[in-house]
Structure 1
Amino acid sequence: MRLWVSFKKRDVFEEDASIDVRNQKGSFAIKVKPSSKWTDRNVSRWKAALREVANLSGEVVLGHETSILEKIVNTIYKKLGSRDLHLPSNITGMATRYEGIKSWFDQSNCEFLAVYGMGGCGKTTLAKYIYNSNQKSFNYVSFVEHIGSRCEKPNGLLEVQKQLFKDILGGGKRKIPGVFQGTPMIAEALQKKRTLIVLDDIVGHSQLVDLLGNGDINTQSKIIVTTRENTDNWLDFPHSRCKKYAMRLLNDNESLQLLCRHAFRFENPKEGFQEVVLRAVHYCGGNPLALEVLGSSLFKSDSIQYWESQLRLLERDMDSRVHGVLIRSYTSLPSETVKKLFLHIACFFNGRDEDYVVKILEPDYSAISGIKILIDRCLLSVSPNKELIMHSLVEEMGKYMVRQESHLPANRSRVWDSDDSYKLLRKGMVGFRTVEGLALDMNMLSEENFAIRSPKLKTNALKNMDSLKLLQLNFVELDGSYENFSEGLRWLCWLGFHLKTIPSDLYMGHLVAIDMSYSKLEVFEPPMVLQSLHILNLKDSHDLTEIRNIFNIPHLETLILWNCYSLVNVCSTLGDLTSLALLNMTGCNALGVGDLTKPIFSFPSSLRQLFLKYRYLKCTDSIPLSFSAQLNLQYLNLGDSLFDSLPCYDHLENLRVLDLSFCYRLKCLKCLPNTLAELNVYCCESLERITFQSPRFTLQEFVYLGCTNLYKVEGFMKLVPIAKLNETKLGHLKWLNEYQKHKVCLVGADELTVGRSWHIKMLYEFGIMSTSLPDIKDPNMTPEYISESSSLSFDVPSGPKNKRLKGINVTFKYSISGDDWAFFCKVSTSNGVLDLMYNPQVYGKPKFGELCIWLSYWPIGYTLKYGDRDNVSIVVLSGLEVHECGVSLVYSDKETLENNMGWAEILGGDLSEFQLSTGGYYLCRRDFFRLIGAKRPTPDWFRILVGDTINYTEVTGWRNTGRPKHVYPSFAELKTIGCIIHGPQLKKRVGESMSNAFDSGESKSVVNYEPKGGKKIVLAVKLDHIHLKRKFLKVASTVTGVESLSFDMSKGELTICGGHVDPIVVLSRLRKIGYVEIISVGSYPRRLAKQDDEACSVM
């Protein structure tokens, strides 16, 4: 039997020993004594073997023998076996996440990489993937797993230190005697060795210090830490730097792929399993561990019924493997108070507005600091809309912890399930004094309980809940006395409250928030002084006519009266409230309808957000709109109103957002404050002009679609028909008046093209005048310099006597050769003084086979010197074919030209926001790079335009609309104001209920009332994947004012109905998921898309 052994060989020669080996000289010479038993054959075989060895590629080493031997030993140690860690073949999504980390290995001054996230999200798998991809580049490597759990055991930390120390040294006999000696020994070794280290599942700063110390680390080493904690503070070593990476959960496609790999051993579900697989994906919420466990448990199961049964089981009782990973994050929380806070959020407040939750839970649970701890432990996150987001598996883990308190809901601290709560209250069970929170929503009862529900429940069922702090009774009718309600209540959410007034025996002394949306209240009057009440929500209380004695709520901060359209009287003391910051009176259409000469009430000076969006609002004495005393106003919504003008608001220096959408009669806005960050004038059809305190345009968001008569926005643009410009305005282009009746279809910005006439217009922006013309033959159109290509160069002549060069006309003729039409005109000088790249917001679209002319005037004559070499070029993105390019010089009398102005001032003032790092100016208000993903190459047209020295990312973001580099902090906060305008709990329920309606293809009413009036928006929808429809509808349902949805899959149309739905908000949210366009709004389908009497396809 012959045994074959696989091995690697590497020859090592000292100095020039390879020559002696090949020729058998020196110590390698073979001398055979006569008495030797060696034969000639033996000698020949040895010589041949030595020659073979000498001819192999090897390494010649120099130096001391000890160092040579150490090098050889280390090489053999590394080659003895593969150092790769085991990774399953069906991992998903790691390569894409690694792409965002690879650059870290090239950063010489950044030694630490902290990968953090919730349990089971794939942190360890990603660390192994990174380790396997890079371990060959390091002399020494170490992967230490499960540090957190190992350190909990006796001598656990010492064992971890020993493993790490041994790996850094590459073996060796040195031993660590104890933990205190181990830390400096490891730190010393790290200063000398170039090592790749992974420390998996670190818990807290102290463990990291025990392992690495606080000293210097070899800058060539790389240390990866995985942890469940957001590592803001405890990775700040004195001489080291850290890159943080928040572990991203799997997206829908990755989740589907991973689940199917485990369940079917394929990447796609079996025929007929698509729907149940999507339910399973949704349940796991992108958590890889949950997907693997669930997929493996369903492997080889061909029964859809089994899948559905397994999902129902998991929704009631989480798998022990997933639960075991998640529960460690809960048990490690630092105090019982934080644990209680976590359980309250998991059971009642997931998806709620952060400020709303803080107000309610701060008095008893120090919610401000507690929420930060939960965020740091990756148990909670805050969305861009300032909503508290808890992963569904973490939420389920919290509810599991509550269920472990007792098998009887009556003996638990929290009862959130409506069926459990209904049974407790219906049976009148007594003795559950442990309950701190209870939620009952009659609309969420199971079919069994819904069929047998009692019309009324007894108040006595709540009398023994002495510990009750959080109570939700949506659409519940109670009968009896309220005197035994818990006096410790902090939150009362009673949607659909059935009484006409507040019971006088209901104790409200400690309430922080009251939500009685959709109530039957006719009069709201506090039964006592409510010192602790901060939030009062009476949204959609359609029978409410009067609010009395509001002064009994002295610390009220938020008052929501949205759609209380019967309200006619608000207590005059409203203006005396010193803490009221948010007032929403949208839809209160009965206010101000009577005597318009007397004020109904006054607004408090403390207001920061005010919503007065209702259809009969006018500038009258009954509701003064000057806001002279409300100097703290930051957000002002006066949309859908009937006024034709507004007072000057230049005194509102804190105003950041002004919403005037659907103000059809509004004609002009004057002297808006420069601090304004967002202006929404959507569908203000009569609006013509907007001016600011100073001419510089500083808006970060400007919504003006549907303003078909808007011709001037100061500092932004002016678009005027030639017929409305006199000869003085046109200057040397006055000959254009002859063509004022000609028509050209304009394309570009929808806001300036859709719904407007085709008559020739002049566009003013950045100080440049431009217009689009049909292919006319006019002597004035003959340029001095002409080229049949897309570029030309010319030398500036001396010019006529007593004349000064004022500027240049640039023209070019073009035709359509594709579906997209866009271009830049570039004007530069060879000496580098001038480099302008301009993309007009609108330009002409010729008919197929015809030509169009773009004519522009650039007032840059003062910068052009005699003899300068000037270059003009037209850079086409796609879709246009340039036939001719020309330039003419424009002169004026010397005394008429302002020779003390720089060209930047002439071109519209300060253009620093548009300046590139090369010094040139990218004068463009459109984002041509919105769909280009990260790491994509820079487009060819952009490199032609600006050169090879900058990347296209320099002109994305704020620059494409001329926004300031730094956003207003308060504006960023105000962008999330929609979260608390309406009842937060209803929003969550609406999303869930509408999702069910969407999946079944039906439109359902979510709450127990019929909306009276409102908007109907029809959208054209295109989704890349069918499984996105649930997510699509959930996002749509969160838009303020949405009351019902219906979706026609065959037509690809989504219909949204609601009292006050903003179509722009709908578009901005849904376009993040798929293609969406408005087909019609309200009762005027295609109103905005109307064009003269010809059809024009718009970009």
Structure 2
Amino acid sequence: MDVRIIGIWGIGGSGKTTLASIVFQKYAYSHFDGHCFLKDIQEGADTYQLRKELLYQLVNDKKVACTDTPAVGSRFIQDRLRYKKVFIFVDNLNGSVNKLKVLLDGYHFANGSRIIVTTRDMQLLKTVDGKIFELKGLSNVAALKLFCFHAFGQHLPATGYESLSKRIADYTKGNPLALEVMGSSFKSIDVKYWESALARLKTCLDPDIQKVLRISFDGLDDKGIQGIFLDMACFFPVVPREVVERISNRTEHSDAAIRINALVDKSLIKESGEVLEMHDLLRQMGQGIVFDENKDSGKRSRLWNVKDVCHVLERNTGTSKIEGILLKLADLKKDVKVSPIAFSKMHNLRILKITRSSTNIYGFFYMEDVDKRLRCPHGLESFISDEIRYFHWELYPLKYLPYLSTENLVVLTMRHSQLEQLWNEDQPLELEKLKKIDPEAEPSCSNVQSS
């Protein structure tokens, strides 16, 4: 049998460490000559120190471990390990892409040795020759059982809790950590409080879950990658990949495709075909990061909460900090009178998404009847931002569109609007980057014209 490296990667809290630990405990002590368990390695852990700890556990001799060099193990050490069948478990290895390769560099173990590595970054596993497995969420049945075990001490919901237990288990998308934390949180709570508790969890992520998931985000060393993640968390939880690429390529030298791949590799988003999707718990984590930017909603980078958006649009409290706005018209409790200068301070606005739908799946909108709308009784002044790339305003209330920079515009959607003229005659048009235009007006209105 040869030496095998097995990589397990997935989102935080998915059970990577638990699974590998069970295998380690079952086989390491009885089937191998030596074993090493490097547990919960911190992001900035020094690789040389990790090598020393690895050697110490394998040979149980600190003096021998100290003879190792960062580049290549000494001949003496190699001779000690060459005929030793070992089981090594490297837990939560993240950081430099070459970290695993450097950690194992120069070591040769006996045939039959096994090395298990858990990580949130798939790229790190690709630097060595081994098998890579993605650890996905539990099935719906298994998720419900795990939740019930922590909530009721049994594998089935208690009488009267069946429907709510299933809803909570489904909400976690099979994430074991979330199921454990939520099950423990709901334990011994009367069923009449479960609805409000569930609603609260959907708006405020449990701190223990937040802490684990936040590690992956903090490990992103590129502001552009972080920006794509936050855009998806706040505006596009399910979206065609092409849309994200075009919105995110702000300059000729940007490469959103590489940044999206980095998010996929770190399990922060999933890719299915040509569609990107974000886990609900990660979306909440991302929204929490934006919410913590400032107590004043007008000074945050992204707005999606209906109250925050309405406050900014009605009272003209927006600033140059705002990069994107999402408003679901179905969530409005009343008609909202938009200030004519609501967008006058938003110099860096990139994304404006005002939609009837409550869900956007694979590019298709699930429309809801809307009886409350945005009103512009005093018109709208120019959109001052030159950064607008995504402009989507359904049920647009005016017959004209004020000045809107088209230099970077990629998507323009005006479904069911009152528009009679799309472009002002005096506005210079730069439409080189525009890939999608959908100026659909109400049937009762005149045909939309582009001057």
TM interval, short-chain normalised: 0.7 to 0.9
The whole-number CA distance in structure 2 between the counterparts of 1:122 and 1:496 is 45
- Give yes or no for contact 1:342–1:374 (8 Å, CA) kept in 2: yes
Deviation at 1:378, TM superposition (A): 1.0
| Counterpart for residue 375 of structure 2 | 477
Structure with greater helix percent: 2
Asked if 1:460 is matched to 2:351, the reply is no
Could you list the per-position Cα deviations for residues 1017-1047 of structure 1 after superposition, in whole angstroms to 9, with x for gaps in the alignment? Answer: xxxxxxxxxxxxxxxxxxxxxxxxxxxxxxx
Asked if 1:531 is matched to 2:432, the reply is yes
The whole-number CA distance in structure 2 between the counterparts of 1:484 and 1:143 is 58
Deviation at 1:535, TM superposition (A): 1.2
Could you list the per-position Cα deviations for residues 361-406 of structure 1 after superposition, in whole angstroms to 9, with x for gaps in the alignment? Answer: 112563211101111111111123x221111111111111111111
The whole-number CA distance in structure 2 between the counterparts of 1:158 and 1:383 is 38
The whole-number CA distance in structure 2 between the counterparts of 1:416 and 1:244 is 37
- Give yes or no for contact 2:3–2:109 (8 Å, CA) kept in 1: no
Three-state SS of the structure 1 residue aligned to 2:416 is: coil
Asked if 1:325 is matched to 2:223, the reply is no
The whole-number CA distance in structure 1 between the counterparts of 2:12 and 2:4 is 24
Three-state SS of the structure 1 residue aligned to 2:98 is: helix
Matches within 5 A, 1:652-731: none
The whole-number CA distance in structure 2 between the counterparts of 1:189 and 1:247 is 34
Question: Cα–Cα, structure 1 residues 188 and 249, in superposed 2: closer, same or farther, change >3 Å?
Answer: farther
The whole-number CA distance in structure 1 between the counterparts of 2:291 and 2:8 is 32
Matches within 5 A, 1:357-368: 357-363=244-250, 366-368=255-257
Could you list the per-position Cα deviations for residues 549-577 of structure 1 after superposition, in whole angstroms to 9, with x for gaps in the alignment? Answer: 5xx8xxxxxxxxxxxxxxxxxxxxxxxxx
Could you list the per-position Cα deviations for residues 77-114 of structure 1 after superposition, in whole angstroms to 9, with x for gaps in the alignment? Answer: xxxxxxxxxxxxxxxxxxxxxxxxxxxxxxx4561111
Give the residue type in structure 1 aligned to 2:146.
Answer: L
Question: Cα–Cα, structure 1 residues 234 and 275, in superposed 2: closer, same or farther, change >3 Å?
Answer: closer
| Counterpart for residue 10 of structure 2 | 117
| Counterpart for residue 366 of structure 2 | none
- Give yes or no for contact 1:483–1:505 (8 Å, CA) kept in 2: yes
Give the residue type in structure 2 aligned to 1:164.
Answer: L
Question: Cα–Cα, structure 1 residues 173 and 227, in superposed 2: closer, same or farther, change >3 Å?
Answer: closer
Give the CA RMSD over aligned residues: 2.6
The whole-number CA distance in structure 1 between the counterparts of 2:440 and 2:5 is 51
Asked if 1:197 is matched to 2:88, the reply is yes
Percent identity for Structure 1 against Structure 2: 27
Deviation at 1:413, TM superposition (A): 0.9
Asked if 1:226 is matched to 2:226, the reply is no
- Give yes or no for contact 2:73–2:106 (8 Å, CA) kept in 1: no
Three-state SS of the structure 2 residue aligned to 1:225 is: strand
Matches within 5 A, 1:178-327: 180-181=69-70, 184-185=73-74, 189-203=80-94, 204-214=96-106, 216-231=108-123, 234-237=125-128, 241-301=129-189, 303-327=190-214
- Give yes or no for contact 2:313–2:342 (8 Å, CA) kept in 1: yes
Asked if 1:497 is matched to 2:396, the reply is yes
- Give yes or no for contact 1:487–1:510 (8 Å, CA) kept in 2: yes
Question: Cα–Cα, structure 1 residues 305 and 423, in superposed 2: closer, same or farther, change >3 Å?
Answer: farther
Segments of 4+ moved more than 6 angstroms:
none
Three-state SS of the structure 2 residue aligned to 1:486 is: coil
- Give yes or no for contact 1:380–1:390 (8 Å, CA) kept in 2: yes
Three-state SS of the structure 2 residue aligned to 1:282 is: helix
The whole-number CA distance in structure 2 between the counterparts of 1:273 and 1:540 is 47
Q: Could you tell which deviates more after superposition, 502-511 or 342-351?
A: 502-511
- Give yes or no for contact 1:176–1:182 (8 Å, CA) kept in 2: no
Three-state SS of the structure 2 residue aligned to 1:458 is: coil
- Give yes or no for contact 2:3–2:113 (8 Å, CA) kept in 1: no
TM-score by length of 2: 0.86
Give the residue type in structure 1 aligned to 2:194.
Answer: W
The whole-number CA distance in structure 1 between the counterparts of 2:68 and 2:294 is 42
Matches within 5 A, 1:608-1007: none
Which sections of structure 1, spanning at least 5 residues, go unmatched?
1-107, 553-1099
- Give yes or no for contact 1:168–1:193 (8 Å, CA) kept in 2: no
- 2:310 maps to which of 400, 422, 426: 422
- 1:509 maps to which of 407, 421, 428: 407
The whole-number CA distance in structure 2 between the counterparts of 1:367 and 1:317 is 30
Deviation at 1:305, TM superposition (A): 3.2
Which sections of structure 2, spanning at least 5 residues, go unmatched?
356-372
TM-score by length of 1: 0.37
Give the residue type in structure 2 aligned to 1:480.
Answer: G
- Give yes or no for contact 2:145–2:156 (8 Å, CA) kept in 1: yes
Deviation at 1:270, TM superposition (A): 0.9
The whole-number CA distance in structure 2 between the counterparts of 1:485 and 1:338 is 26
- 2:22 maps to which of 126, 129, 132: 129
Three-state SS of the structure 2 residue aligned to 1:393 is: helix
| Counterpart for residue 438 of structure 1 | 325
Deviation at 1:269, TM superposition (A): 0.9
Give the residue type in structure 2 aligned to 1:342.
Answer: F
Deviation at 1:128, TM superposition (A): 1.4
What is the aligned length?
424
| Counterpart for residue 361 of structure 2 | none
Three-state SS of the structure 1 residue aligned to 2:238 is: coil
Question: Cα–Cα, structure 1 residues 242 and 226, in superposed 2: closer, same or farther, change >3 Å?
Answer: same
Structure with greater strand percent: 1
- 1:142 maps to which of 28, 36, 43: 36
- Give yes or no for contact 1:350–1:390 (8 Å, CA) kept in 2: yes
Deviation at 1:492, TM superposition (A): 0.5
Question: Cα–Cα, structure 1 residues 505 and 407, in superposed 2: closer, same or farther, change >3 Å?
Answer: closer
Deviation at 1:284, TM superposition (A): 1.6
Question: Cα–Cα, structure 1 residues 176 and 402, in superposed 2: closer, same or farther, change >3 Å?
Answer: same
Three-state SS of the structure 2 residue aligned to 1:196 is: strand
| Counterpart for residue 360 of structure 2 | none
The whole-number CA distance in structure 2 between the counterparts of 1:537 and 1:488 is 20
- Give yes or no for contact 1:113–1:243 (8 Å, CA) kept in 2: yes
The whole-number CA distance in structure 2 between the counterparts of 1:363 and 1:214 is 44
- Give yes or no for contact 1:481–1:505 (8 Å, CA) kept in 2: no
Three-state SS of the structure 2 residue aligned to 1:224 is: strand
Deviation at 1:424, TM superposition (A): 1.5
